[in-house]
């Protein structure tokens, strides 16, 4: 089913609106023409309404970065990817560097692709550990020039960003799992944003693993702060702790990521329903259990087995997969992740 767009969203000048329609006919497709028409209309409106060159440069650079990123990632959308965050200052002999390298190697051997920030330290370890052709690097251009690390095998999979916000968007949009290693402000910023996007439903459920070598107290200390300050003072719910998982070994991290997609496949929202696509059917016992255990996250009704929704059929989304549907309250995402773990243990 085509998305609904406002017919009133036009420039307001018939000559220009007709030119936009002609350009859409030459550039788009039936499935995307409404979207492309709105993008072009917005572009013309910007030109007519803004005389600030800085504003237009920001929009221009953002669109160019997003377009190029979509082009690079598009052929690999069917392959699961893991983003690795961590300190750019970690030395090659450090425990976290070695851990990140081993983690990337073991995941790539299992068919995953690795995405890093493209710089030195833990990012370098991720690219080094990934198999040839199985990694991406999303580098950020900084005043002091963060140079791409030497372990990026295919230079076309290196994307250089001007803006942090477009880089972060691609980190989330194009990956399926997140691994956080010890790091500085940037690592904590990226980690908190990943968790926040999950907590608020702005990101699909995903495994987030906080990895530290044996003997390190980095994440344990961080967790103490989260519990003693955020949970205790009511700034977050205790259930939000289900949004991430701390591990001390590479094998535990790999298992956590693989287990997350053992039965659970993906989620989407259609006509007020949360639709969980599954890799296989779950037992009646598990269905009964999740209805009892997680009824608090429903606004009404029960969690039930369902065929594909009309919207999924129209958009041809994973029609061969079994499904669960529910009236999710769109609020308790920590509990939703907890339920996904229960389903995966079926």
- pLDDT at residue number 279: 97
pLDDT for the residue 8 = 78
Give the count of domains, the chain. 3
pLDDT at 203 exceeding the cut of 50? yes
**Can you give the pLDDT at residue 146?**
66
Q: Which of 238, 260, 282 is the last residue of a domain?
A: 260
End-to-end CA distance of the chain: 34
The answer to whether position 3 is within a domain reads no
pLDDT above 90 for 29:
no
Residues 112 and 250 in one domain: yes
Mean pLDDT along residues 320-346: 97
Tell me, what's the pLDDT at 3?
45
Residue 5 domain-assigned (yes or no): no
Residue 11: the pLDDT is 92
Do 111 and 200 share a domain, yes or no?
yes
Reading the block at residue 143, the tokens are 């005043």
Q: Does any domain span residue 6?
A: no
Q: What's the CA gap between 87 and 282, in Å, rounded?
A: 40
Please check whether residue 8 lies inside any domain of the structure: no
**pLDDT for res 2:** 38
The reply to whether 157 and 256 lie within a common domain is yes
For 125-169, the pLDDT digits (tens) are: 999 999 889 999 999 988 775 678 889 878 889 999 999 999 999
Give residue-wise pLDDT tens across range 226-276: 999 999 999 999 999 999 999 999 999 999 999 999 999 999 998 889 999
Mean pLDDT value across residues 193-214 = 96
Quick one: 209 and 314 in the same domain?
Answer: no
Residue 178 burial by Cβ neighbours in a 10 Å radius (0-12, 13-18, 19+): buried
Alpha-carbon distance 160 to 40, whole Å?
Answer: 25
Kindly state whether residue 133 falls inside one of the protein's structural domains: yes
Q: Provide the residue range defining the domain that includes 308.
A: 264-344
Within-domain flag for 203: yes
Looking at the fold, whether 59 and 95 belong to one and the same domain comes out as no
Q: H or E element: which one contains 302?
A: strand 298-306
How many CB atoms are located within 10 Å of the residue 76 CB? Answer: 14
- Residue 9 in any domain: the answer is no
The domain boundary, picked from 74, 89, 122, lies at: 74
Extended strands (E) in 102-157: 113-116, 135-140
Q: For residue 1, what pLDDT is reported? A: 33
Any residues with CB less than 8 A from the CB of 140 and at least 6 apart, and which? 117, 118, 119, 146, 160, 161, 164, 167
pLDDT tens digits for range 44-75: 999 999 889 999 999 999 999 999 999 999 99
pLDDT value, residue 122: 97
Predicted local confidence at residue 7, as pLDDT: 63
- Note whether 30 and 98 are same-domain residues: no
Residue 268 and residue 314 share a domain:
yes
Mind listing the pLDDT tens digit for each residue in 78-102?
999 999 999 999 999 999 999 999 9
Of the candidates 33, 32, 40, which has an alpha carbon nearest to the alpha carbon of residue 10? 40
One domain, residues 98 and 127: yes
Assessment of whether the complete model's pTM goes beyond 0.85: yes
Query: In the prediction, which pLDDT does 141 show?
Result: 86
Residue 123 sits in the same domain as residue 270: no
Task: Note whether 88 and 196 are same-domain residues.
Answer: yes
Same domain for 112 and 233, yes or no, is yes
Q: Answer with the one of 236, 260, 284 that is the final residue of a domain.
A: 260
| Domain at 226, CATH number | 3.40.50.450
Task: Read off the pLDDT band of 194 (50, 70, 90).
Answer: very high
Average pLDDT, the chain: 94
């Amino acid at each position: 089913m085509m998305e609904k767009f406002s017919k009133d969203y036009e420039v307001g000048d018939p000559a220009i609106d007709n030119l936009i329609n002609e350009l859409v006919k030459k550039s788009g497709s039936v499935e995307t023409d409404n979207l492309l028409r709105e993008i072009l209309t917005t572009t013309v409106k910007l030109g007519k309404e803004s005389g600030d060159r800085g504003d237009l440069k920001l929009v221009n650079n953002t669109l160019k970065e997003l377009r190029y990123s979509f082009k690079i990632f598009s052929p690999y959308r069917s392959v699961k990817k893991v983003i690795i965050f961590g300190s750019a200052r970690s030395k090659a002999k450090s425990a976290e560097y070695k851990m990140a390298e081993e983690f990337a190697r073991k995941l790539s051997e299992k068919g995953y692709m690795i995405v890093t920030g493209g710089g030195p330290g833990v990012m370098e370890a991720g690219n080094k550990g990934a198999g040839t052709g199985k990694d991406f690097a999303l580098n950020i251009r900084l005043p002091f020039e963060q140079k791409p690390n030497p372990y990026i095998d295919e230079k076309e999979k290196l994307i250089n960003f001007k803006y942090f916000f477009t880089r972060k968007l691609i980190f989330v949009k194009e990956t399926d799992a997140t691994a956080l290693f010890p790091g500085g402000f940037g690592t904590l910023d990226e980690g908190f944003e990943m968790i926040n996007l999950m907590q608020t439903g702005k990101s699909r459920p995903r495994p987030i693993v906080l990895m530290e070598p044996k003997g390190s107290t980095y994440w344990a200390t961080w967790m103490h702060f989260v519990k003693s300050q955020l949970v205790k003072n009511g700034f977050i719910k205790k259930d939000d702790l289900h949004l991430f998982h701390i591990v001390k070994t590479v094998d535990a991290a790999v298992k956590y990521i693989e287990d997350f997609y053992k039965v659970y496949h993906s989620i989407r929202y259609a006509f007020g329903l949360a639709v969980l696509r599954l890799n296989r059917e779950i037992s009646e016992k598990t269905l009964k259990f999740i209805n009892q255990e997680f009824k608090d996250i429903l606004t009404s009704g029960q969690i039930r087995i369902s065929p594909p929704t009309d919207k999924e059929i129209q958009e041809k989304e994973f029609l061969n997969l079994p499904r669960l549907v529910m009236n999710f309250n769109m609020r308790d995402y920590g509990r939703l992740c907890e339920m996904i773990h229960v389903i995966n243990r079926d």
